[in-house]
Structure 1
Amino acid sequence: MNAALTFSRLVDTVNDRIGKSLFWLVLLAVLISAGNAIVRKVFNTSSNALLEIQWYLFAAVFMLGAGYAFLKNAHVRIDFLSGRLSAKARNWIDIVGIIVFLWPLCLLFIKLSWPLFA
């Protein structure tokens, strides 16, 4: 049990540090987006490479930020419904949601991406 708690704290620490460092990726994406918009308006040209970098940065922020959002309990939920429920009911909804939606989706991602690494 002690090893599991230690590992859990390590994962939380890593997620916290990653989440706090994502600010720089978001800032970079905003600067690239603004630069691309300025170049497009001023020089009447655009760069597909810059557009792709924006998408890759968005994907990185989304994927790396998911653990941070989960750690900080900032994931999306319907507040006007969950605000009326007790803490115990909200916890049960979170548990069921993780088992029914998150785990199968993670397993699907693993199954679909496994051939890319094999």
Structure 2
Amino acid sequence: MPKFISSYVKYVDLICEKVGRFVMYWVFFMMFLLILSFVTRNIINYPLMWIIEMAQFTITAYYLLGGGYSMITDDHVRMDLFYGKLSKKGKAKMDIFTSVFLIFYLVLLFIGSITSLIYTIETKQKLFTAWAPYVWPIKTLMLIGILLMLLQAFSTLFKDIAKMRERKI
């Protein structure tokens, strides 16, 4: 594989791995928020309006920013109807075929997230709840997460092409 592609794969994998490992610990923050919600609502009898929405934002950022990492570690869901019976080369060919659809989907999602973020910023969009937080922070994280998944999808595609050709990256 060309040096440019090797460098691309190396750096994208590194970025997605670092982001994924960092975000992995956000689940503990979300658990803290949910426990705090239980304590303030049921024990102290002083419910805080913002806790549940903050937990929802946290878990949304968690799975959006962790998408690229799950692709690196191959922890994503795969329909294994006949995939498991394929050879290593056959699996690489199947992954290349399905990567085209994934990349197309992620490009559309990325374009949609850009327009959604622009709209959110222009209109100063807030949620229609008692807390009424601004939506732009979570939409920004959504955009970053989709971008990381898109970059990782290309990285995975390059790795599958190398596998199919029986070359190292």
Q: Output the TM-score relative to the length of structure 2.
A: 0.60
Aligned length: 117
| 1:76, distance to aligned residue in structure 2 (A) | 0.7
Tell me what 1:31 maps to.
Answer: 32
Partner letter of residue 105 of structure 1? Y
Per the TM alignment, residue 88 of structure 1 is displaced from its structure 2 partner at its CA by 2.4
Q: Which residue in 2 is equivalent to 1:73?
A: 74
Matched residue, 2:112:
112
Distance 2:45 2:83 in 1: 49
Q: Larger relative contact order (C-alpha < 8 A, sep ≥ 6)?
A: 2
Q: Which amino acid in structure 1 is aligned with residue 28 of structure 2?
A: L
When residues 34 and 6 of structure 1 are mapped into structure 2, their CA distance, relative to the original with a 3 A threshold, is same
SS at the partner of 2:96? helix
One-letter identity of the residue aligned with 1:112: G
Greater alpha carbon shift after TM alignment, 64-73 vs 22-31: 22-31
- Inter-CA distance 80–109: structure 2 relative to 1 (3 Å threshold): closer
Query: 1:84 maps to which residue?
Result: 85
Give the deviation of 1:113 after TM superposition: 2.6
- Counterparts in 2 of 1:94 and 1:42: CA distance versus 1, 3 Å: same
Higher helix share: 1
Query: RMSD value over aligned CA atoms?
Result: 2.1
How far is 1:70 from its partner? 0.5
Matches of 2:90 and 2:68, distance apart in 1: 22
Kept in 1, the 8 Å contact 2:27–2:62? The answer is: yes
Match of 2:3 in 1: 2
**How far did residue 80 of structure 1 move?**
6.1
- Asked whether the equivalents of residues 24 and 66 of structure 2 are also in contact (C-alpha less than 8 Å), the reply is no
- In structure 1, what is the equivalent of residue 51 of structure 2? 50
TM superposition outliers: structure 1 runs of 4+ over 4 Å = none
| 8 Å Cα contact 2:40/2:47 also seen in 1 | yes
Please give the alpha-carbon distance, in whole angstroms, between the structure 1 residues aligned to 2:36 and 2:44.
11
Q: Is the partner of 1:73 in helix, strand or coil?
A: coil
> How high is the TM-score relative to the length of structure 1?
0.82
| Matching residue's letter, 1:108 | L
